[in-house]
Amino acid sequence: MTQNEIKAAARTYIDAEQDAVFAREVEVLLETGKWEELSDRFYTDLEFGTGGLRGVIGGGFNRMNPFVIARATTGLARYTAQAGSLRNDGTRAAVISHDNRRYSREFALSAALVFAAHGIKAYLVDDLRPTPLLSFAVRYYKASVGIMVTASHNPPQYNGYKVYWDDGAQVVSPDDTNIIQEVMAVKPGEIRLLEKDDALRQGLLEYIGADIDDAFVAMVKRQSVQPELLREKGGEVKAVFTPLHGTGAPLVERVLGELGVQVITVPEQRAPDTEFPTVAFPNPEEASALEMALALGRRESADIVIGTDPDADRLGIAVPDGDDLTLVTGNQLGVLLADYVLGQRQALGTLPQEPVFVTTIVTTALQRAVAEHYGAQVYETLTGFKHIASIMRDLEKDPAGPQFVLGDEESYGYLIGTEVRDKDAITATMLTVEMALHWRNQGISVMDRLRQIWQNFGYYEEQTISKYFEGQAGKATMDGLMQQLRTAPPASLGGTAVERIYDVKTDQIFYPARGSSEAGPGLGSSNVIQFFLADGTRVSARPSGTEPKIKFYISACSEPSRDLPALQKAVSGRIAAIEEDILAIIQEASR
C-alpha cells in the first residue's frame, strides 16, 4: 500500500470505530509515521473465515477490535434474520459467550447489542464460560445462532470470534459462505447497536448464568459410562488440575467434586488472567504448559494430572508410570477413550447397534483399529470439529441408522455424546478420570492399558512439527511452501519412498512411481497435502486456519509384537529421519 492509501484506510477506520482507545491507537501510529505497522493493520481486512474471526487485538481493519466485531455481527444478524431457525414462539435468538481474553467481555456485549438492534434476542453469559457450554447453550435455548468470543490457546495478544448455528455446531456450507458474503457487504455507516439499557428493557438482552451451568453439569454427568463407579469410588482418586488461567476451573472442579473426586487445582494458575503469566503458550499440547501441574502432581502423589486450555475445549493429561508422571499425547488419549467408552459400553450392553466413531485425517490410525475392533463404523473427516458435527447432523437424519458415540482429533479435542457439538474438555475430563479409575480397579494403570493396546494392534507414534510465519511476508512464505509441496513434492522422506500423495484441496491422489492420478474420497476442499510412504508412514502438511503457522503431522507404526522397546526404538528412528527432512524443506522455503 502507498502512504496515501494507508492514510485513507486509517481515517475511514478512525471515523467508524466507536471505541476511543482503539481509534486513538491508530491516530498515534499516523502521527508517528509507523508506516510498516500501519500497512500490516490495513493491507487487508481481517478475514471472516468459515469459522469466524481470529487475530491480533488492535486498531485497524486487519485486527480484532470493536468495529470489526460489530461489522461481522451485523452481517451475521442480517443472515440470521433471513435464514435462522425460528423458535416455537416464532422468534429468533442468539447466545453469546466469552472467555477471559483481553476485551472478550466488551466484544461479547457489542455482538449482543448488534443482535438486539436487529430485533434478535441475545442471551449473554454473565461471566466468562468455556466454549463447550456455548455449544450446549445454543441447543438449550433453541437459538438460531451462537457466538463464542475466544482465541482458545493462542498467545495473549490474540482474540477470536467463533460462529455456531442452531444445532450448536460451528457453521458449515452453505451457511458459512453466505454469512461471509453478508459480512463483506456491510458498510461502516450501516452498523447499529442498541443501547444496553434499552435492550434489557425491551427483553432483547438477557444475562444467563447459574441455570445454564446447572443444565450443563447435569449433561456432563449423563455421559458417564459407569456412573456407579464414580459414585462408589470417586473418592479414591486424587486429581491435580490446571485451567491455565482460563475458564475451566469452576466447572471442572464442580463436576469432579460432586462425584467425590479430590481435586487440587494449581493455585498460581487457577484465577483467570488475560496475560497467562506462568506459561509461554496456554496450550495443554505444549509440555511446558503443564510443568507446574506436573510438579504439584509429583508432590501430591496424584493419580492423574489434568490441564485444560483457556476456553476449556482441549484436554491434556499425565498419569503415573513407574516412579514418575508421564504425559499422554492427544492421539494416545483419543485411543484410550475410544477403547474405554466403546469397550465398556459393549460389555454393559449400552452400545448402540450401529455405533459410530468419528476422527480426522491427521489423527492416528490406531484409533480406527481400536474402534473397529468393537464393531464401530469409523468416519474420517477434515480437521475441525465442525466437520465431525456435520457427520453427526447427517446421521441424525435416520434415527434408526448408525448412531454417533464419540469423536476426536489429534490436537487434544474430544467429544462424547451428542448434547454438545464441539470439543468438550469438561466431559472428557470426567470420562478420563472414570477411565483411569476403571483400569485401576482391574489392577493396571492407564499406561499399562496403552501398552496392551500397542501389543494387540501395533505400536503407533506421532510427531507434530509447527512453524510460525508472522505478518505479510510470513503468509507469502507459507503459501509458497504449500505450492512447492504440490508442484515439486519430495520423492522420499526419511529415506523411504513416497508411494502416493493425496491433495485434499483438489481431491486428487497422485502415484509418483507410475505418474498417474485418481479421484480422492471426496472429503471436501481443504489446504492439506498428505504423503503416504512405502512403510505405512503418513505425513500431512496443513496450514492452520486460526494461527499464522503450518503444521506437519507424522504418524508411523509397526506390526503387533510383545517386544515393545524394540518397536518403539525402530519407529522413533523413522520419525526422527522424516523430521530432519521436513525441517530442511521448511528452512529452504523460508530463505
Nearest to 40 by CA among 62, 17, 69: 62
Beta strands 529-533 and 538-543, pairing class: antiparallel
Rounded to whole angstroms, how far apart are CA atoms 580 and 583?
5
Q: How many CA atoms within 13 Å lie on the side-chain side of 7?
A: 6
Inter-helix orientation angle 366-373/446-457, to 10°: 90
Assess contact for 147 and 53: CB atoms under 8 A.
no
Cell of 273: 488472567
CA distance 388 to 408: 8
CB neighbour list of residue 321: distance below 8 Å, 6 or more residues apart: 445, 447
Q: Give the C-alpha separation, 275 to 102, whole Å.
A: 8
Task: Return d(Cα 101, Cα 310) in angstroms, integer.
Answer: 9
The SS3 call for residue 87 is coil
Cα 578 off chain centre by: 26
Q: How far apart are CA 145 and CA 161, in angstroms?
A: 13
Whole-number Cα distances in Å, 359 to 22, 376, 505, 508: 41, 12, 19, 21
Q: How far apart are CA 159 and CA 107, in angstroms?
A: 10
Q: What is the dihedral of CA 279, 281, 287, 288, to 10 degrees?
A: -30
DSSP for 409-463, written as a single string: ETTTEEEESSS--S--HHHHHHHHHHHHHHHHHTT--HHHHHHHHHHHH--EEEE
C-beta of residue 587 within 8 angstroms of C-beta of residue 482: no
555 is catalytic: no
**Residue of 97, 104, 135, 152 marked active site:** 152
Measuring CA to CA, how many Å separate 403 from each of 168, 213, 249, 346, 425? 18, 27, 32, 14, 22
- List, in sequence order, every residue forming a beta bridge with 553; answer none if it has no partner: 464, 540
What is the full DSSP assignment across 328-353?
Answer: E-HHHHHHHHHHHHHHHHHHHT-S-S
Active-site residues, by number, are 152
